[in-house]
Amino acid sequence: MGSKANIYIDQGTDFRLSLELFDEDNDEMVLSTITFHADMRKLYSSKKAVDFDIETANNDVTLVLSADTTATLNPGKYQYDVLMKKATGETSKLLEGLATVVPTITEV
């Protein structure tokens, strides 16, 4: 089971969430051999609302949604999770929680 964290996404704005990863010995992880997957849904059983773009650098994994993408989301609560798949095939959940999309009043 992964860690739990609720997040807030402002509709129509860029969203970034960075995760700093370490292995069980508290050493930096070699991310070049690992793939990451993350998406959001209204319910676990519903169709995917959006895939997060994922950026990796050093031992940081960053979930990214562009302003254009968040503008297409309806305000409200969603569920999300982040999975990590190692080159060995081992898959684990890093993070899960509620993602609340908050409407934005000001238009740019």
| 10-52: pLDDT as tens digits | 999 999 999 988 767 666 667 778 899 999 999 988 898 999 9
Q: Where are the alpha helices (DSSP H) in the chain?
A: 67-71
- The model carries a pTM of 0.87
| 28-37: pLDDT as tens digits | 667 778 899 9
Q: What domains does the chain contain, in order, with CATH numbers?
A: 3-102 (2.60.40.10)
> Are the beta carbons of 99 and 15 closer than 8 angstroms?
no
- Residue the block writes with tokens 């979930």: 63
